[in-house]
């Protein structure tokens, strides 16, 4: 039965929103794996555990917002199996942060693809929803200048008297909404 509130909501957009829900849940699942890895007794890095638990909660909230949006637009929710994280052991904090950055880039690219699809189907409601709730948020999450964990790592290794030197690896990524921006990934190098 067709929803009575559905208007100008293309089936391709509806299907893509369902796929985006799955990706957000996968990200949440991955961050949960990271959080509980770092809270293990043999790893015991509670700061990382807390950081990744917060990220997991945020990604789950993103999925829930998309589900609510789907209902408001008169779309139908078709949940899919959530894929298992690609690994169970996350190594060092640095390795996990690199994996988290890649995950954020993948989620951001999927959001940009969804935004383009919405634009192609002339869906200003979906475009506005994505810009307001997702794209700007993901932009700031990937920007190390605004990232508390990157700041902590930089301070710890550059001011803590350790024999570690941090170098910034700058990667440019195009953003179709706001022009261009940078991603900074802190990489530890032994000296």
User: Domain of 19?
Assistant: 11-80+90-190
In a domain, 2, yes or no: no
In a domain, 132, yes or no: yes
In a domain, 171, yes or no: yes
In a domain, 103, yes or no: yes
Residue 88 phi/psi, 5-degree rounding, is: -110, -25
In a domain, 6, yes or no: no
- Position 102 pLDDT exceeds 80: yes
- Position 178 pLDDT exceeds 50: no
Residue 24 annotated in ligand binding: yes
- pLDDT score recorded for residue 182: 36
- pLDDT score recorded for residue 165: 34
Burial pattern 57-69, b for ≥16 Cβ within 10 A else e, equals eebbebbeebbeb
In a domain, 41, yes or no: yes
pTM: 0.73
In a domain, 26, yes or no: yes
Tens of pLDDT, residue by residue over 103-162, are 999 999 999 999 999 999 999 999 999 999 988 765 555 555 455 555 555 445 544 444
In a domain, 3, yes or no: no
User: Residue 73 sits in a domain of what CATH number?
Assistant: 1.20.1260.10
Task: Tell me the CA end-to-end span of the chain in Å, nearest whole number.
Answer: 66
Q: Are 145 and 184 in contact (CB under 8 A)?
A: yes
If one counts the domains in the chain, the total is 1
Residue 104 annotated in ligand binding: yes
Sorted by sequence, the CB contacts under 8 Å of residue 183 that are 6+ apart come out as: 101, 105, 142, 143, 144, 170, 171, 172, 173
- Position 33 pLDDT exceeds 50: yes
How far is the C-alpha of 129 from the C-alpha of 121, rounded, in Å?
15
Residue 62 annotated in ligand binding: yes
Burial pattern 12-38, b for ≥16 Cβ within 10 A else e, equals ebbebbbebbbbbbbbbbbbbbbbbbb
Determine which of 18-32, 77-91, 149-163 has the lowest per-residue pLDDT on average. Answer: 149-163
């Amino acid at each position: 039965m067709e929803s009575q509130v559905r208007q100008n909501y293309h089936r391709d957009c509806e299907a893509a929103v369902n796929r985006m829900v799955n990706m957000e849940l996968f990200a949440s699942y991955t961050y949960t794996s990271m959080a509980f890895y770092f809270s293990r007794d043999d790893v015991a890095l509670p700061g990382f555990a807390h950081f990744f638990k917060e990220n997991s909660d945020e990604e789950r909230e993103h999925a829930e917002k998309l589900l609510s949006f789907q209902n408001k637009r008169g779309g139908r929710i078709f949940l899919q199996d959530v894929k298992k994280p690609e690994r169970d052991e996350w190594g060092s904090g640095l390795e996990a942060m690199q994996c988290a950055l890649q995950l954020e880039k993948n989620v951001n690219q999927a959001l940009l693809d969804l935004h383009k699809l919405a634009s192609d189907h002339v869906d200003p409601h979906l475009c506005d929803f994505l810009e307001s709730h997702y794209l700007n948020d993901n932009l700031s999450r990937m920007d190390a200048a605004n990232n508390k964990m990157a700041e902590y790592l930089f301070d710890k290794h550059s001011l803590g008297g350790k024999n570690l030197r941090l170098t910034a690896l700058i990667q440019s990524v195009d953003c179709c909404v706001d022009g261009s921006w940078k991603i900074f990934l802190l990489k530890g190098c032994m000296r």
